[in-house]
Amino acid sequence: MTSRELNAGRKLTRPGVQLRMSWLVRHPVRVAVMVGVILLTLLGILVWQQQQKNIEVERYQLLQQVSHHAASLEATIRTAVVVSESLRNEIILHPQQPLAELENRVDLLLKDYPLFRHIALAPDLIIRYVYPRAGNEAALGVNYRLIPEQYAAIEKAIALGGPLLAGPVKLVQGGSGLILRVPVFAGDKQLWGAIAAVIPLERLLQQTQLEQFREHYYLGLSGRDGEISNTELFWGDPVLQGLPSVYANIRLPNGHWRLHAFPKQRLPLMAGLPPLFLPIGLLLTLILTVGLYVLLRLSQERQLALQTVAWQASFDPLTGLANRSVLLGQLELMLKQARAQGGQLAVLSLDLDEFKQVNESLGHPVGDQLLQLVADRLLEQLTGPEMVARSGGDEFVLVVPEHGKPELVEQFCQTLLNAFHAPFMVNGTPLSISTSIGVAIYPNDGLLAIDLLKHADRAMYAAKHLGRNTFHFYDAGMQKEADHFVHLHHEIIKGIEQRQFFLMYQPIYDVVNQRFSKAEALVRWQHPERGLIPPFDFIPVAERTGAIRPLGEWILQQAIADMQLFSQMGLQLQISVNRSSQEFNQAKCADEWIAQLAAAGLTPEQLILEITESVFMDKVSVQQANVLSLHQQGVQLAIDDFGTGYSALNYLSRYPVDFIKIDKSFINLIAEQDKARALVAVLINMAKVLDVQVVAEGVESAEQFHVLQQLGCDFIQGYYFSRPLAKADLISVVQQPVRFR
């Protein structure tokens, strides 16, 4: 009997069964009638509940698909808006530029966003430029003020102060389409004119693959001109008007659409069977078998209970695999056999990559099912005396007694990695996940079971550092590295206590006001024996060992003390302090930091916290709450090293970001390479569209400085202005006139 059968058998244990059985034997007719009535009632309830569950599951699954397609439509429309606003920014930045000179820019936009049929530019609301020109010559010279319907839409866009998506409307060229109108204001918020772009509805729907979705579902779109209260369908199957459809909202610049869906075919419950066939059949079967089943069950319950208790002490209740205590015992037995035979033995430690994200995004029930499927797939790879156990969380251990040679172990590891290539089906949804494997071999990597497990774990972490989805063999250097990390961790804690750390400040130049208005606090470590230790030697260790929290707290306290001095001297200087994502994990840490500022007589606006995009990606509710609280109370936030990680528009549009800091790697070649200059220009323009200011880091030459000035960068930081300075030197530099041109 398998472990799952044992667990199921344990659930059948019922106290007092013997007493009920005696009563059953004495009154068989009365019992038959009572059981029949109860079973029929329960069965009716279960059938009704199952029917409701099926309906809800069907609606939920359909809602997921509808939401996915709605999100795709919304993203495509949002891209159209960003493209149009990019052209608007080009006009704002160069209002006197002849429209004909925009030809290449518009041509590039239409190639990158092929959904546009054409784009028209109308300074003073008279069309002076249209692209492509061929076939659209008649539009030139059209005065929107003389066309009431179009002029009303443009007036609405002007009143909104932003993009307006209208339609769908019938197009002269055939079919229907959407018209995106963007008002353009130049200088002192004066109206320059408008941009109009036509998106054929058919192209938009083909882009989002709605036609394929339509094979099995009735689909429809409502909300013409973004008016969500208008329930009339402007596209799709009219039959939806009378059905309880599932819908998802699609956000537009000036309102919403709704995407509606309903299945084309729904099977009736218990189709093809007489209404009472199943209940009567079950009732007769139960009446005939209940007596024999109960008698046999009573004789088994005692033994089953004993087996269940023994099983629970030895096996993981979720996966049915051996637990850690059994693993240690079995590994010791295998080691004794290997010693007696003079053989080798391999211990493999497996950890699932990105399993935490599965739990956080899909929920622990899905994570539990995934662990069960992983256990089943690992068992499928065993062909001999190998053993697999779950050591905890998403970690598994395999013991391979006959594969001690490295080349055989390597083949087996590759087999395990290949086994994870196929996705795992959880509730009909495919989930792809990989694993990292660490290997320790007896006797080379250890003689005791506990040592082999520890060394396999270290090798597994090394595999993760290599990029995951790979394997790594243990070597003695890992022990030295682990010892080094432990030693350096204690040295960092000791250094904080003995005030071995100090702050330097690198001034940040304000391009518009032509002065140093900000400075970044940079930590340095003056070790009494090793001298000055650079940050890249100790910050990663502090991140991995948790020492970053006390170190970060010291940095903030010292920066606040220095800010207090700057404020007392009358310096208008914002200080920027780097914070690790780990420091946001403490509940209400935002309130504590604000309280420290208040105690020093400082306002939250005097502090900028530099964070990485991981704070937004981890989806940790405590981190998100602290970030929002800080911003609401006035602390400004900057994304450090923007563009080197997983930068995306949704971070800048959804979260409170005041600055992005463009990494030095993007700045190095902007004076020599057009591509580098264009990439930085895109980042700056994107930030301006989203009302985010830009700081360029690592500027080392006048040429780089001048290029960034021309591109409209807000703030510049780097050795061209100054290396990191001591507090007194920073005060002197800030107080002096600035002459950078």
Query: Averaged over 565-579, what is the pLDDT?
Result: 93
Residue 231 pLDDT > 80? yes
Bridge-based pairing state of the strands 471-473 and 435-442: parallel
Is residue 601 within 8 Å of residue 565, measured between CB atoms? no
**Residue 342 located in a structural domain:** yes
Per the structure, how many domains does the chain have?
A: 3
Cβ-proximal residues to 595 (8 Å cutoff; 6+ apart), any chain: none
Give the angle 165-169-173 at the CA atoms, nearest 5°.
115
Do 731 and 584 share a domain, yes or no? yes
Residue 551 pLDDT > 60? yes
| E-strand stretches of 429-470 | 429-431, 435-442
**Residue 319 located in a structural domain:** no
pLDDT tens digits for range 179-199: 999 999 877 778 888 999 888
Tokens of 335: 């080691």
Which of 302-311, 576-585, 674-683 is predicted most confidently?
A: 674-683
**Residue 159 located in a structural domain:** yes
Residue 8 pLDDT > 50? no
Measured in degrees and rounded to the nearest 5, phi and psi for residue 532 equal -75, 120
Do 466 and 591 share a domain, yes or no? no
Which of the four pLDDT bands, split at 50, 70 and 90, describes residue 736?
confident
Residue 5 pLDDT > 50? no
Give the pLDDT confidence score for residue 740 in this predicted structure.
67
**Residue 43 located in a structural domain:** no
- Percent over 70 (pLDDT), the chain: 84
Tokens of 61: 């699954």
3-state secondary structure of 690: coil
Q: Which residue has the higher pLDDT, 114 or 636?
A: 636
Do 440 and 507 share a domain, yes or no? no
**Residue 665 located in a structural domain:** yes
Do 354 and 409 share a domain, yes or no? yes
pLDDT tens digits for range 413-446: 999 999 999 999 998 889 999 999 999 999 888 8
Query: Averaged over 35-64, what is the pLDDT?
Result: 72
Do 515 and 415 share a domain, yes or no? no
Give the pLDDT confidence score for residue 644 in this predicted structure.
63
Among residues 454, 474, 494, which one ends one of the domains?
474
Do 515 and 465 share a domain, yes or no? no
Give the pLDDT confidence score for residue 77 in this predicted structure.
87
251-265, 312-326, 681-695, range with the lowest pLDDT: 312-326
Query: Averaged over 573-577, what is the pLDDT?
Result: 95
Bridge-based pairing state of the strands 395-400 and 387-392: antiparallel
Query: Averaged over 358-381, what is the pLDDT?
Result: 89
Q: Which residue has the higher pLDDT, 603 or 65?
A: 603
Residue 325 pLDDT > 70? yes
CA 148 – CA 144 distance, rounded (Å) = 8
Give the pLDDT confidence score for residue 4 in this predicted structure.
33
Do 461 and 492 share a domain, yes or no? no
Which of the four pLDDT bands, split at 50, 70 and 90, describes residue 90?
confident
Range of the domain at 169: 63-263
**Residue 601 located in a structural domain:** yes
Residue/partner pairs of 713-716 with CB below 8 Å, 24 or more apart: 713/511, 713/680, 713/684, 714/510, 714/511, 714/512, 715/508, 715/509, 715/510, 715/511, 715/517, 715/518, 715/659, 716/508, 716/509, 716/511
Among residues 452, 474, 496, which one ends one of the domains?
474
**Residue 307 located in a structural domain:** no
Give the pLDDT confidence score for residue 722 in this predicted structure.
92
pLDDT tens digits for range 10-25: 233 333 333 344 555 5
Among residues 474, 500, 532, which one ends one of the domains?
474
CATH code at 720?
3.20.20.450
Do 346 and 459 share a domain, yes or no? yes
Give the pLDDT confidence score for residue 600 in this predicted structure.
94
Helix axes 17-26, 277-312, angle to 10 degrees: 150
Residue 731 pLDDT > 90? yes
206-210, 488-492, 504-508, range with the lowest pLDDT: 206-210
Do 538 and 677 share a domain, yes or no? yes
Residue 135 pLDDT > 80? no
Do 507 and 613 share a domain, yes or no? yes
Which of the four pLDDT bands, split at 50, 70 and 90, describes residue 634?
very high
Do 530 and 455 share a domain, yes or no? no
User: Given the structure tokens 């429209």, which residue do they identify?
Assistant: 99
**Residue 146 located in a structural domain:** yes
DSSP state of 171: -
Measuring CA to CA, which residue among 676, 455, 715 is closest to residue 574? 715
Q: Which residue has the higher pLDDT, 275 or 322?
A: 322
Do 255 and 338 share a domain, yes or no? no
CATH code at 426?
3.30.70.270
Query: What Rg do the C-alpha atoms of the chain give, in angstroms?
Result: 34
Residue 615 pLDDT > 90? no
Give the pLDDT confidence score for residue 482 in this predicted structure.
66
**Quick one: residue 398, left, alpha or beta (phi over 0 = left, psi -120 to 50 = alpha)?**
beta
Measured in degrees and rounded to the nearest 5, phi and psi for residue 694 equal -120, 135
Which of 298-302, 399-403, 656-660, 713-717 is predicted most confidently?
A: 713-717
> pLDDT averaged over the chain?
83
Give the pLDDT confidence score for residue 212 in this predicted structure.
78
